[in-house]
Structure 1
Amino acid sequence: MSKTKPFPAIHGGCFCGSTRYRLECAPLFCHACHCQDCNKHTGSVFACFTTIEAEFISSIGKTPPKITRVARPNGISRHLASCGTCGTRLWASGDITPVTADINTGTLDLPEIMEPDVHEYIESKISWVLLPEGAKTCKGPFDYREYWPKSSLKRLEAAVQRAQERRKLLAKVAQAGQETEEEKEADKTPTAQTPDEKDGVVEDDEEFEKRYLETEKALQERLEQLSLRLNENEKVQGDDLRPGVVQPAKEPETAAEGQAPAATGPEN
């Protein structure tokens, strides 16, 4: 009994070769679009896409693809992967759901094996572009639910389910991280403090007693200095006892011993 052979990985890359990628499984669907938007977007007469689950694209080049968000004329935004060196557009998030990606078929190393399953917007096709005999076509955009094979629809459903599970897991991780930060902040929250507790620091009994004794000692030293200065002076200027404003009293003028004070009279 033979085993099923694994899908041969298909490679692709940009014009300059610095950005390379690999498809890890068979594509979901291939289609060509002949609308005028795709003509302008690609600079060619029609566009060709190979759709695959985005998770099955692996970057294998020396330069990872550059991801940018681009707005389309219809108002839908897509994330575009391109080479940051030469600017080659490689793939973009799918129109159906972000879990898929539309590879630009021309960037594959073997684009001939990805023949379009359907050509959409056939009414806009350039007249001299000839389609293969028997090619499926449709006017306007095709409905993937009608054109995709059942196996691809099941794969799409599974990819959407995996994406939802990843989002739930990320939400749980983010919530757990937020709760951890809140717990850390709660541990840092100070308890209620009295007006004497400054800067959110609560002194224990030993620290309070030490600070009290140092303050009392400093006040006692200032009081002793003030008393000494008061004793050295017989008079104090005014009633201001603040340090630095005490001035020495003037010595009283007295007469010499055994002599009467000289009489003063009008000048001659």
Structure 2
Amino acid sequence: MKLLLLGTTGYHANDRRQTACLMLPESGLVLDAGTGFYRVAKHVQTETLDVFLSHVHLDHCQGLTYLWDVRAEAPQLGRVTAYAEPDKLTAIRQHLLAELMFPAMPPLELQTLPAEFTLRDGGRLTHFPLRHPGGSVGFRIDWPDRSLAYVTDTTAHVDAEYVEKIHGVDLLIHESYFIDDCPEQAELTGHSCLGDVVAVAAKAKVGRLVLVHVNPLIDDDASIDLTAARRVFPKTELGVDGMAIDF
């Protein structure tokens, strides 16, 4: 199984990273549709695409408006469906796809996020609430022989309710917008500090941790020193755009 990281920053793109977008090409699944969504076209392996949105802040949904070009580059693609909570779908229709904002409705179906979804390869996708301004959800996918969780836009804490939902996954993709120097800002904006994220990974006993949704103002990844983080959770890695993760 291969997971592609197509966008690994948050808030806004920079010269090295696009905003949130992950893809499981073999499953026809995309998690979030930030500015990295345009890259989906080069990796399409299925005739349909299911896009699950954690929430609809622009760095997670604006890529839906790129679908005209995605389809042009991947003409084999038929149905594309985006799933989100009902209030988030309303926001997409009334704002992102309002005529004055985007005059041509993308070739896209919008559906309410189901409690459970079966992927074409038999994987079982479920979701759980996260604490974030406006609300967000995390996702967990379980196959018979592997599992992953995607947690973004929340303030990590070992006592957070979502920790039990990700327990034991083989691969955890978790946001880490701040290093450890802005805990007050993390709490205010609903984002996570690195030290809290690795503590969550350790408590949840996950197999591997990959950090995403990093601060776009960080212009050199070398400034994100993982030495202390790896003392808490050794299998910690920094996600980058274009990274392919086999798990």
Q: TM-score range by the shorter chain?
A: under 0.3
Task: Give the number of the structure with larger relative contact order, counting CA–CA contacts within 8 Å between residues 6 or more apart.
Answer: 2
Looking at secondary structure, tell me which structure has more strand per residue: 2
Higher helix share: 1
TM-score, reference length from structure 2 = 0.22
